[in-house]
Every structure is written in structure tokens, then in C-alpha cells.
Structure 1
Amino acid sequence: NPESNMGNAVGAAPVKAAIDKGVTVGLGTDGYTSDMFESIKMANLLQKHELHNPQAGWEEVFQMAFQNNRKIATRFFDKIFGVLQAGAPADIIVVNYYPPTPITSENAYFHILFGISGDMVDTTIVGGNILMEDREISGLDYERIVRRVKEQAEDFWKRF
């Protein structure tokens, strides 16, 4: 949660040192933000800033986001995550991203780091179930929810 750490002025996690000691360091959000693509970008920048090294962060953030998060989730939930294979939960996102340059196995991470953001997510599939398609969350009455939230917020501020 690099954005939260920066927003609360609590510093940067010693990611490289922890990984070098064998700690499985993951990357996530804690409610301060909810865009993992932006957290990947910010984690990369924060490590560069913290270590005063423009080369820092590349490998560690990739490892955290795409290897360690999978390991942590697999260990915690006792299911295989982060792979497309039989028996693994079908957790997939579809992103509307049309880059001006080709995506290859060598540069895919950099397209994620510099080109993709959460607002490009079009479809979300969790456990094989489509939860969002064409940016519409299935089963939710969005207008009703917004209306209720506004009512609750007004009530809260009157009491506050």
C-alpha cells in the first residue's frame, strides 16, 4: 500500500532488504486506494525515491505483484492462484488497452507499469463468475445504491 504509506507519511517499506533476507513481500491496497495498477506504479517510484536509485524497484515490485501475491494467496486460501490451469480459480480481468507499440513477453510488465490503469478494466471474472462486464457490475442497482449512500451521508453529516 505505497499510496497509503505516502499519504500517512509513515515512510517506505524496506522491500529490497526484506526480499534479500527471504521474506515473501506482497503488494496490495488497504482502502486508501483500490487500483492495483496504480499501486504497482507507486511502489516502483517509492522504492526508487527511498533508495535514491533510479534502477531500484523494477525487479522487486514485479516479484511482489506477480509472484509473491500469488504465493501469499495460495498459502492463505489453500488454493492455487495466479495461473490459468484446471483446478485453479478462474479469476481474470479484461482490460481495454490499445497500445501504440506491440506487447511482447519482454515488455509486458512495462506496459502494465506505464500504460494500464484500473479504469481500463472492462470485465472481471471471479471463480468463473462474471461480476462485471462492459464496466457494469452484475446484480447491483447502481442508482439505488448511490441514492442510499447520499441519504446516509447527509444523515451522518447532520449528526456529526
Structure 2
Amino acid sequence: MIKPLVIMLALWTPFTTFAFHEGENITQTASNELKLDPSQLTIVDFFAEWCVSCRHELPVVNQLYGELSGTGVTFVGVDVDEDIEIGLEFQKSLGLNFPVVNDPKQQLIAEFKPVGMPALYYLYQGQVVKVRFGAITDIRAVILDDLSLLGVQL
């Protein structure tokens, strides 16, 4: 039998407490899996083929990846599709050039626990410095504004 106190605590706990927060360090396992370069600010973009917003945002992220090359900012995608073939075809259909880690066993997403898709995590030296969840209307402007607020000189 589930105790009422356990249920009350679960209901009182905000959903966002399960995700990495700004200022927290990610695990070494996640850092290794993402192949993070500690000298660069890396924007990790969680996405999936079924995510409608991802279809709109990923081409813009892909373009920014090329434009920001050599600035100390890079991107890594995490495709969370459980069927790797669907994920690979999706990536190919969008012509993604930035590195993508396929996460069919849901190990990375289980560590990060984003509360919405798509999800962007800005990481520097293993620390989360900014987080964005859900669809963003003008992803290009938002990312460039975020980078400016983080003090990145472009």
C-alpha cells in the first residue's frame, strides 16, 4: 500500500526538480557520452522525430552550428528516438551537420530529464549555465541573445 505522505510529497515536488538546473554539474558519464570539450560552450539539443517543434527548430540550429564555428560555441544533438533507424532518417532528412548522439536506450535523457521537447542545455566546463524547454518561436534570436547574456563574444 502506498502511504499518503509519499503521494503528497510527489504532488508537491515541482516537475522541474527532476531536470538539471542552471549551476549544476552534469555527470562525467554524460560529459563523456556527449564528447564535451571543456574549452567550448556547448549547446545540447534534445530532439526526436515525433517532435513537431524540433522539425522547425533543428534546421536553424544546424545553420547556427556552421555560423558559430570557431567562436568557442558548438552544438551537440541528442536524438531520443527509440528506433535508431527512424532517428537516423530524420537527421538525414534535415541535413544535420552538427554532431548527434543517438540515445535509443534513453540513457542521456534519463540523466538530464528535460521537462519539455525540444530541450536546450547550455554547458560550459561540465556545468549547466542555461536551460530552455519547449518550442521557441524565433530560436535563432533566442540562442544569440542567450549567448550575449552569457558573455559570449561573437
TM-score interval for Structure 1 and Structure 2 normalised by the shorter chain: under 0.3
Rg comparison, structure with higher value: 1
Larger relative contact order (C-alpha < 8 A, sep ≥ 6)?
2
Give the structure with the higher percent strand: 2
Give the structure with the higher percent helix: 1
TM-score (norm 2): 0.22
